[in-house]
């Protein structure tokens, strides 16, 4: 058992090293040799877990999905039931912000995810994972909006996920360079525009 725990930790160390390289250098920084150096392991040890940099990228983006999923579990849709007005916006904003780059950890995750999505544009091997992640995101948002009794929750979820994507790009690239405060104001204004008014 101790050997298994050590192996799991080592694999996680390699994935964390890949995260750091993708954040600092983009996908061009993701070679097994560079990851080995960044993680303090020899390249043979890295190859024990990953055949090539594509396998490592898939592992990194899977880790992103797992982390986001773990955070989302703190926001059961059942806790949204019956909320209207500002409490509903507060709860939905807290849920959506789990997916946005509002701190260093989530910023790193968003960069890795964005690099993966861009890579999928020209590399079909990555497309099934990106397509599944898009479906999962749409389903989570749709479920939350349905519980909050938003009209046409599926259509509104498509709009909200588009806003999530745009805000993410503007936060992690020079394209927008917006602040966390601006991100939150933009998101909040949209949520108020789609959620039903408070019941009297």
Q: For the structural domain made of 58-194, what CATH number should be given?
A: 1.10.357.10
pTM of the model: 0.86
Closest CA to 115 of 2, 6, 17, 30: 30
What the block records as the tokens of 15 is 């994935």
Contact in structure between 137 and 161 (CB atoms under 8 Å)? yes
With cut-offs at 50, 70 and 90, classify the pLDDT of residue 5: low
SS3 149: coil
Report the CATH fold assignment for 1-51.
Answer: Arc Repressor Mutant, subunit A (1.10.10)
Residue whose token pair is 């995750």: 109
Across 8-17, 64-73, 95-104, the highest mean pLDDT is recorded for 95-104
Percent of the chain residues past pLDDT 90, beyond the cut: 50
What confidence tens digit (pLDDT) does each residue in 14-61 have?
A: 988 988 998 999 887 788 899 999 999 889 888 988 888 788 888 888
For residue 152, pLDDT over 90 is answered with yes
For residue 169, pLDDT over 60 is answered with yes
For residue 199, pLDDT over 70 is answered with no
Which of the two residues, 191 and 116, has the higher pLDDT score? Answer: 191
What the block records as the tokens of 134 is 């898009």
For residue 1, pLDDT over 50 is answered with no
pLDDT for the residue 174: 84
Domain boundaries along the sequence of the chain = 1-51, 58-194
């Amino acid at each position: 058992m101790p050997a298994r725990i050590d192996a799991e930790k080592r694999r996680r160390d390699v994935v964390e090293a890949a995260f750091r390289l993708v954040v600092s250098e983009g996908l061009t920084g993701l070679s097994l040799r560079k990851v080995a150096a960044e993680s303090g392991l020899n390249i043979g040890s890295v190859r024990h877990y990953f055949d090539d940099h594509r396998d490592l990228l898939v592992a990194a983006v899977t880790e992103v999905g797992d982390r986001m999923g773990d955070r989302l579990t703190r926001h059961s849709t059942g806790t949204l039931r019956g909320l209207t007005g500002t409490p509903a916006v507060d709860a939905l904003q807290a849920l959506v912000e789990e997916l946005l780059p509002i701190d260093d950890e989530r910023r790193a995750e968003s960069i890795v995810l964005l690099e993966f999505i861009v890579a999928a544009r020209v590399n079909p091997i990555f497309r099934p994972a990106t397509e599944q992640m898009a479906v999962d995101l749409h389903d989570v948002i749709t479920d939350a909006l349905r519980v909050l009794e938003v009209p046409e929750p599926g259509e509104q979820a498509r709009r909200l996920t588009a806003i999530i994507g745009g805000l993410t790009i503007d936060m992690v690239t020079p394209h927008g360079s917006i602040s966390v405060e601006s991100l939150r104001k933009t998101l909040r204004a949209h949520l108020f525009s789609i959620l039903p008014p408070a019941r009297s």
